[in-house]
Structure 1
Amino acid sequence: MSFYTLFVTSLCTLVLPLLLIAAAVKLWEMYVISGCDPTCRGALPPGTMGLPLLGETLQMVLQRRKFLRIKRQKYGYIYKTHLFGCPTVRIMGSENVKQILLSEHKLVAAQWPASVRIILGSHTLSNAHGAHHKSKKRAILKAFSREALEQYIPVIQEEVRGTVDGWLESDTCVLVYPEMKRLMFRIAMRILLGFEPDQTKADERELVQAFEEMTKNLFSLPIDVPFSGLYRGLRARDIIHSKIEQNIKKKLLKTCENNNYKDALQLLIENGEKNDERLSMQEIKESATELLFGGHETTASTATSMVMFLGLHAHVVRKVRQELQEKYVMGSQGEDKPLDMERLEQLKYTSCVIKETLRINPPVPGGFRVALKTFELNGYQIPQGWNVIYSICDTHDVLEALPNKGDFQPERFLDNKSPEDSARFGYIPFGGGARICVGKEFAKVLLKVFVVELVSRCDWRLLNGPPTMKTGPTVYPTDNLPTKFTCWPEP
Structure 2
Amino acid sequence: MVQSLPPGKLGLPVIGETIAFFTDREFAIKRHERYGPVFKTNLFGQTTVFLQGADGNRFILTNETKYFQISWPPSVEQLLGPLSLALQSGHTHVSRRKILAQAFQPRALAGYVEAMNVISDRYLDRWVQQETLTWYPELRDYTLDIACKLLIGLDDGAAMPLGHYYEDWSTGLFSIPLNLPWTAFGKAFRSREKLLVEIEQLIRDRQAQATPVAKNDALDLMLSARDDDGEGLSLEELKDQILVLLFAGHETLTSALSALCLLLAQHPQVLARARQEQQDLADQPLNLETLKQMLYLDQILKEVLRVIPPVGGGFRSVIQDCEYQGYQIQKGWQSLYQINATHLDPTLYPNPQEFDPDRFDADRAEDKQKPFAHVPFGGGLRECIGKEFARLEIKLFAARLLREYQWELLPDQDLDLVVIPTPKPKDGLKVRFSKLQ
In 2, Cα distance between equivalents of 1:239 and 1:399 = 46
Q: Deviations over 1:400-459 (max 9, x none)?
A: 142221111112111323122111111111101111001111111111100011111111
5+ residue gaps, structure 2: none
Task: Confirm whether residue 257 of structure 1 aligns to residue 213 of structure 2.
Answer: yes
2:239 paired with 1:285: yes
Q: Do residues 475 (structure 1) and 423 (structure 2) align?
A: yes
CA distance in 2, matches of 1:191, 1:164: 19
Aligned to 1:16: none
Q: Which residue of 1 aligns with 2:69?
A: 109
Within the candidate set 44, 47, 52, 1:87 is matched to 47
Report if aligned partners of 2:414, 2:426 keep a CA contact under 8 Å in 1: no
Matched-pair identity in %: 34
Partner Cα separation in structure 1 for residue 105 and residue 313 of structure 2: 26
Rate the CA distance shift 1:41–1:192 in 2: closer, same or farther, 3 A: farther
Matched with 2:369 is 422
1:94–1:399 CA contact under 8 A, matched in 2:
no
Q: In 1, distance between residues paired with 2:28 and 2:127? A: 36
How far apart are 1:76 and its partner, in Å? Answer: 3.1
Residue identity matched to 1:176: W
Larger radius of gyration: 1
Q: How far apart, CA to CA, are the structure 2 residues paired with 1:250 and 1:399?
A: 53
- Contact conserved, 2:14 with 2:44, CA < 8 A, in 1? no
Which range moved further: 238-247 or 443-452?
Answer: 238-247
* Corresponding position: 1:51 with 2:6: no
Gaps of 5+ in 1: 1-39, 332-336
1:202 positional shift: 5.0
Shift in Å, 1:466: 7.2
User: Would the alpha carbon gap of residues 87 and 221 (structure 1) be closer, same or farther in structure 2, given more than 3 Å must change?
Assistant: farther
Q: Distance in 1 between matches of 2:261 and 2:159?
A: 28
Provide the C-alpha distance between the structure 2 equivalents of 1:371 and 1:399, rounded to a whole number of angstroms.
29
**Residue 273 of structure 1: how far off its partner (Å):** 6.5
Relative to 1, partners in 2 of residues 1:221 and 1:126: Cα closer, same or farther, differing over 3 Å? same
Aligned pairs for 1:350-369 (under 5 A) are: 350-369=297-316
Q: Which amino acid aligns with 1:474?
A: T
**Distance in 2 separating the partners of 1:397 and 1:314:** 22
1:105 Cα shift? 0.7
Q: CA deviation at 1:258?
A: 1.8
Q: 1:422 & 1:201 partners in 2: Cα distance?
A: 41
Which residue does the alignment assign to 1:25?
Answer: none
Q: How many residues end up aligned between the 2 structures?
A: 435
Amino acid at match of 2:72: W
Shift of 1:381: 1.2
The residue type equivalent to 1:319 in the other structure is R
Q: Which of 185, 198, 202 pairs up with 1:243?
A: 198
Alignment correspondent of 1:452? 399
1:312 aligns with 2:266: yes
Q: What letter matches 2:60 in structure 1?
A: I
Distance 1:247 1:174 in 2: 33
- SS at structure 1 position matched to 2:121: helix
Residues 92 and 395 in structure 1, CA contact (< 8 A), matched pair in contact too: yes
Root-mean-square deviation (CA, aligned residues, Å) is 2.0
Contact 2:259 2:308 in 1 (8 A): yes
Q: Which of 345, 348, 353 is 2:292 aligned to?
A: 345
Residue 193 (structure 1) aligns with: 152
In the alignment, is residue 325 of structure 1 matched against residue 284 of structure 2?
no
Contact 1:84 1:219 (C-alpha < 8 Å) held by counterparts:
no
CA distance in structure 2 between the aligned counterparts of 1:234 and 1:201, rounded to whole angstroms: 19
- Residue aligned with 1:483, SS: strand
1:392 CA drift (Å): 0.5
Give, in whole Å, the separation in 1 of the partners of 2:195 and 2:335. 30
The residue identity in structure 1 corresponding to 2:13 is: P
